[in-house]
Chains A and B, each alone.
Chain A
Amino acid sequence: MTNNSNGRREFIKMSSLSGLGLVLGISALDKNFSLTKYGEAAFQLEINPFIIIDNLGNITLVNPRPDMGQGSTQAVPSLLAEELEVSLSKVKLIQSDGKAKYGSQTAGGSSSVRELWEPLRKAGAAAREMMTEVAAKRWNTSISNCYAEDGRILLRNTDKSFSFGELADEAAKLPIPKNPKLKDPKDFKIIGKTNPRLDVPSRVTGKAVFGLDVEVPGMVYAAIEHAPAVHSKIVSIDAAAALKIPGVIRVMKAERPMPHRKSEAVAVIATNWWAALKGKKALKITWDNTSYENMTTDAYFAKAYEAAKKEGINHEEKGDMTQALAHAEKTLEAVYETPFLAHAPIEPENAIAHVKDNGEIEIWAPIQGPDWALRDVAGYMKVKPEQIKINVQLLGGAFGRKAYHDFLLEACFLSKELKKPVKVIWTREDDITQGPYRPGMLSAMKGAVNGKKIAAFHHHAIGESIKGQVFQSLSDFEVDDWITGELSAENHKYQIPTWKLSWTNVKTDIPIVWWRSVYASNFAFGQECFMDELAHAAGQDPIEARLELLSDERFKKVLEVISEKANWKEQLPAGKGKGIAVFRSFESISACCVTVAKNPAGGVKIEKVVSVIDCGYHVNPDNVKAQTEGNIVMGLTAAMKSGITFSKGMAEQSNYHNYQVMRINEAPIMDIHIINSGEKPGGVGEPGLPPVAPALCNAIFAATGKRLRKLPINLSEV
């Protein structure tokens, strides 16, 4: 947008608005999210606002959180609609494009409602008050005589009303109220109520357009042969057979730009993707893998187990752990292992990039964060952010993977060379063999019991660091605070007399990144299984033992509710067992109770999973349930299905046949309960996952007496 009137016209076209009425922006740069009003001048500055109420009453909201299935396209507009007193269907959404003026725009860290809860409601309330003031003036009455309902301001005890459209232009002339009055939660009509997601119909008819479905004029397709050992070097390329395939245009060297390093690759460019894929399969490439033959998960875990025998970097210690262990009646030690995992969203990584002759770059891609993508594209292509236009597409699942932009930068690289729009589509094999992965981790635990009391608890977290590898921002002497944030006493709230948390960074060249619930998905396993071990060593009921250590009311309530809902105290026949775990992540507390039963033929089966979540205020309880169902399935998959293993520098898994994902016949009966604590919103998309694996293994112990400390487990062999 270089021309003012063009900018205005384009925006109006995009939002199908008529004349501009009231236009509000939320200052992304201001910690307090102060509100700003925009007039026509907004477009001269190319500052697109967040919220527009036009003079026909149409409402448009720029959504700063891409939808990957977590429901942001419902949750985000609900916050505005609630305070504006309009139905959800009245709010038209436009996805933000990554520009800095929209502030943080990444769907990640279960942040959508947490971060937008106050600013969007404030914006809605401010707009409502401004329109109410105009209406009150016109009727020559007091503001308290007027109220908003269904897109109109009404005059009490009369049939008089004005539509928002009739008020918007004049409202725009008023100053923005400094402290708009937010609705009392007891008056909420949308927030906290189960409402159907408006985009569901498009997702059952095949009409929803995902990243993979987008075409742009003149585009060519690319299939990319990635380095078998992720960082292998190309020795030679024989493209003769590939070039004979009808539709193949060119075979070219390419590169896979990861945040911390680049890998070599070969791209096959074709007029359609099938031809490109066939060409990729016909390539004869000699790779030099020698430098990476020792890049194996066995070698990584061997180093990690060595580290477990030593002291790590001490992060926090309450009391003297050495003394507490030396003088305890009973001490316990155990090491817990969690594997590397691929995200494996069913929609594989894909992106279109068009590097234009004038240096501008346009992107169409299913990405979690256009703001991060903009930063990465600008940095990699050495262009200014204003030269980049990002069109975020629906994501067919992501789980953290699509906030890592290697596939997008591959498309940029190829488009720059080819001077055309290029669509890169990864194969499933690319997705599973190339990473980045959730890192495998160890929890080396030590603890002590005196009588019936848990007296000491030491969690030594060991493994590769995302901050260290991806962002290259962790020194050897530094603790990864993403990890310690999740494992600190401040987070888990257990009040244990002697307490210690330490960390050792074990490095690997296997690429890693965040995965649903990040490190909580690894370390909740060690923390909560070891808590179970200590409870048993102390001769205590695992829930009672936890309650004894907790004074935090929210944690206690979560445990009490799950005890009741899972019928924790029922007497179970021999061969059945229940396991419990609780973990706080992304400002929500979730507990899980798994019931397992021994099979007559051997092994165990999962009979039921009960989950409780206290996520504070939430928009749609049914969506909280849906996300928790998803977390149970993904958490069980992570606990029971194959992890990623590397041998001779290469992933040993390549597709869903050997990197398995739970199927419907294995999905357990689930029972989910939401506690409305009335606290500020916590995350929803991730917190249900961390307690699942420890609850499962604690249940297996209860049923069989076997302690399983290494994931994944094979239920049929328990």
Chain B
Amino acid sequence: MAVFNLNINGKKVTVDVDPDMPMLWVLRDFAGLKGTKFGCGMAQCGACTIHLNGQPIRSCQAPVSSIAKNAKITTIEGISDGVQLHAVQQAWIEAQVPQCGYCQSGQIMSAVALLKTTPVPTDADIDAAMSGNLCRCGTYDRIRKAIHNAAELSKNADMPKAGKVGGN
């Protein structure tokens, strides 16, 4: 066991855990952030996608000991600005993307990262960035539409104030 000081969603979090423990389980069982999901444990499904310094990573493959000091970890709980939902989340609601919703935290984290590097992605860009995220319910068509819509929303300075944080 070892003590790790982490920066998660802008907050300092201290955990005392097995250094081998993947960030997935640190987040879920020691930081109380259950939005990041377990699906396969081998970076095949993307349900555990989080951001490490803005880059999407599969948290099931990232031992807590591999996280550099001062690295910024962002999870699904940390992508909105606290006032309104992230454009990607708004677009997800607008397109009614989720069915069961279990994979959608990971899908959204991948989409947010895509739009950061590629503000107006093509279908090919979406395929490349999103093909690591499985959805067994089959929501892919809506994910594609929602990403295009989110790109529009983000472009537009007068973003509609739909979808408050903590909706539902």
Contact = CB atoms under 8 A, between A and B. Distances in A.
A225 interface: no
B80 interface: yes
A69 B39 contact: no
Contact of B76 (A205, A425, A656, A669): A205
A210 B100 CA distance: 9
A203 to B, nearest CB: 3
Contact of A200 (B34, B98, B166): B98
Interface residues of A, number: 66
Contacts of A662: 138, 140
B100 A69 contact: yes
B89 interface: yes
A665 interface: yes
Interface in A417-474: 425, 427-428
A348 B39 CA distance: 7
Nearest to B167: A201
Interface stretch (B18-26, B65-73, B152-160): B18-26
Interface string B97-110: 11111111100100
Contacts of B140: 629, 633, 662-664, 667
A663 B46 CA distance: 11
A670 B138 CA distance: 12
Contacts of B167: 201-202, 205
Given A204-B89, A206-B36, A661 B136 contact: yes
Tell me the dominant secondary structure on chain A's binding face: loop
A273 B29 contact: yes
B103 A346 contact: yes
B102 A201 contact: no
A202 B34 CA distance: 13
A344 B100 CA distance: 13
B147 to A, nearest CB: 10
B93 A278 contact: no
B100 A201 contact: no
Contacts of B127: 664-665
A205 B42 contact: no
B40 A634 contact: no
A344 B136 contact: yes
A273 B41 contact: no
Given A205-B85, A428-B42, A71 B102 contact: no
A428 B40 contact: yes
Contacts, number: 198
Nearest to B163: A201
B29 A272 contact: yes
Contacts of B8: none
B44 A203 contact: no
B165 interface: yes
A304 interface: no
B6 interface: no
B151 to A, nearest CB: 16
A661 B134 contact: yes
A203 B138 contact: no
Contact of B144 (A272, A348, A427, A664): A664
A209 interface: yes
B115 interface: no
A632 interface: yes
A126 to B, nearest CB: 30
Contact of A630 (B21, B29, B37, B137): B137
Interface string B36-78: 1111111011010000000000000000000000000001110
A212 B18 contact: no
Nearest to A67: B100
Given A204-B92, A206-B105, A207-B166, A657 B44 contact: yes
B37 A346 contact: yes
A198 B44 CA distance: 30
A10 interface: no
Interface in A46-98: 67-71
Nearest to A344: B136
Nearest to A620: B96
A353 interface: no
A197 interface: yes
A345 interface: yes
A631 interface: yes
Contact of B34 (A68, A206, A657): A206
B77 A205 contact: yes
Nearest to A202: B168
Contacts of A205: 35, 76-77, 80, 85, 89, 165-167
Contacts of A264: none
A501 B106 CA distance: 47
A274 B25 contact: yes
Interface in A614-666: 622-623, 626-627, 629-634, 655-657, 661-665
A679 interface: no
Contact of B136 (A202, A346, A655): A346
Interface string A237-271: 00000000111000000000000000000000000
Given A397-B136, A664-B126, A664-B127, A274 B18 contact: yes
A213 interface: yes
Interface in A187-201: 196-201
B139 interface: yes
Interface string A517-560: 00000000000000000000000000000000000000000000
Given A69-B137, A204-B104, A205-B166, A275 B92 contact: no
Contacts of A212: 34, 37-38
Nearest to A208: B101
A278 to B, nearest CB: 7
Contacts of B33: 206
Given A201-B168, A205-B165, A428-B39, A273 B139 contact: no
A278 B85 CA distance: 37
Interface in A328-352: 344-348
A656 B134 contact: yes
Contacts of A246: 1, 18
A346 B102 contact: yes
A396 interface: yes
Interface string A664-703: 1101011000000000000000000000000000000000
A174 to B, nearest CB: 35
Interface string B117-129: 0000000001110
Nearest to A431: B40
Contact of B143 (A201, A655, A664, A670): A664
A201 B98 CA distance: 9
A630 B131 contact: no
A254 to B, nearest CB: 20
A399 interface: yes
Contacts of B92: 200, 204
Contact of A631 (B18, B136, B138): B138
Contact of B35 (A71, A206, A247, A428): A206
Contacts of B134: 346, 656, 661, 663
Contacts of B126: 664
Given A212-B38, A633-B140, A664 B133 contact: yes
Given A69-B100, A664-B127, 11 more contacts: A69-B102, A210-B37, A274-B25, A395-B100, A397-B102, A397-B137, A428-B41, A428-B42, A656-B40, A663-B133, A663-B140
Interface of B: 1, 18, 20-22, 25, 28-30, 33-42, 44-45, 47, 75-77, 80, 85, 89, 92-93, 96-105, 108, 126-128, 130-144, 163, 165-168
16 contacts: A68-B100, A69-B98, A69-B99, A200-B96, A200-B168, A202-B168, A204-B89, A205-B89, A206-B35, A274-B25, A396-B101, A397-B99, A655-B42, A662-B138, A663-B131, A664-B135
Closest 3 CB pairs of A and B: A206-B35, A633-B138, A396-B102
